[in-house]
Amino acid sequence: MLIRKMYNQHRAPGRRGRSGSYLLEAFSLISASPPGEGIYSSVKGGTVRKDSRGSVIKEIYSLLLAEYGCQGWWPVTPPGGTVPEYSGGPVSERQRFEVCCGAVLTQNTSWKNASSAITNMIREGLLDPENIISVDLRRLARIIRPSGYYNVKAVKLQRIARFLAEKGDLTRKSILEVNGIGPETADSILLYAFGQLYFVIDSYTRRIFSRAGVIKGNEGYDSIRKLFEESIPRDITVYREYHSLIVEHAKRNCFKNNPSCPRCPLGRICLSRIESHPEGEL
């Protein structure tokens, strides 16, 4: 009941299930520069030109959405199921708590491993705050072993479960006070579980947008987060879709090593690709 109350108090305006066409319309007023124009010179000397970043951020969103389509994050387990599915995010109190657990379990590992740990938790009847609080830590660690760092994550799961069970209100400040919960995990919980408008910044965001010339890549977390929040519509579905599209692009094209530039949908506005290919070969 407490999780439902906090969700209703803090959820942002916006409807579930919006189509790709709606999300593209959110940026229909963008007048993008010709490919590469206004970006190349801005970072060539090692700086980023602030007046061009917002439009590039918007254009990248449109290109990624057109390439990959709606992602339907965060994956949650349907009633009676044991495996999380991409169905548009949580709609129940249990699913919102599942998102909180998933945000912890996916730290420093793939979603595949985190999903396996969630499946184990469901089968053991542990996808419930009170049950996690009361379970023996060693048993919990064994159950979530697929997620890696399971001893540490078992402690974190108990802390976040206790926080959700005891807190009468949920703010970014209060959740960041939970030991072991950093900005990325906190914003994932706030955005995907409780519908609060905080854009999630992860290593994929830094990789893609530093290569595109939008950021340097070494800025502070909140500096990059605020840049995105100031550049895109304050719409819960857009926030969720954009972050999930960034993850999808990093996994399918913009790899950490040897990125697949020839087939990249951002090729004509990505500074890294523009610099590495002579004019006319993009």
Integer CA distances (angstroms), 73 to 34, 87, 91, 121, 148, in order: 32, 7, 12, 20, 22
Tell me: the pLDDT tens digits for 142-187? 999 999 999 999 999 999 999 999 876 889 999 999 999 999 999 9
d(CA 260, CA 117): 31
Estimate the crossing angle of helix 50-68 against helix 203-211, to 10 degrees: 110
Tell me: the pLDDT tens digits for 193-241? 999 999 999 999 999 999 999 999 999 999 999 999 999 999 999 999 9
Q: What count of Cα atoms within 13 Å lies in the side-chain half-sphere of residue 44?
A: 10
CB 1 within 8 A of CB 93: yes
Burial of 216 (0-12, 13-18, 19+ CB in 10 A): middle
Tokens of 220: 């502070």
Confidence of residue 20 (pLDDT cuts 50, 70, 90): low
Integer CA distances (angstroms), 71 to 75, 115, 132, 234, 253, in order: 9, 17, 30, 18, 16
d(CA 205, CA 220): 13
Q: Which CATH architecture has domain 2-11+76-193?
A: Orthogonal Bundle (1.10)
Residues in CB range of 183: below 8 A, 6 or more apart: 176, 201, 221, 222, 225
pLDDT at residue 67 in the model: 97
Please state the domain extents for the chain: 2-11+76-193, 21-72+199-276
CATH number for the domain whose boundaries are 21-72+199-276: 1.10.1670.10
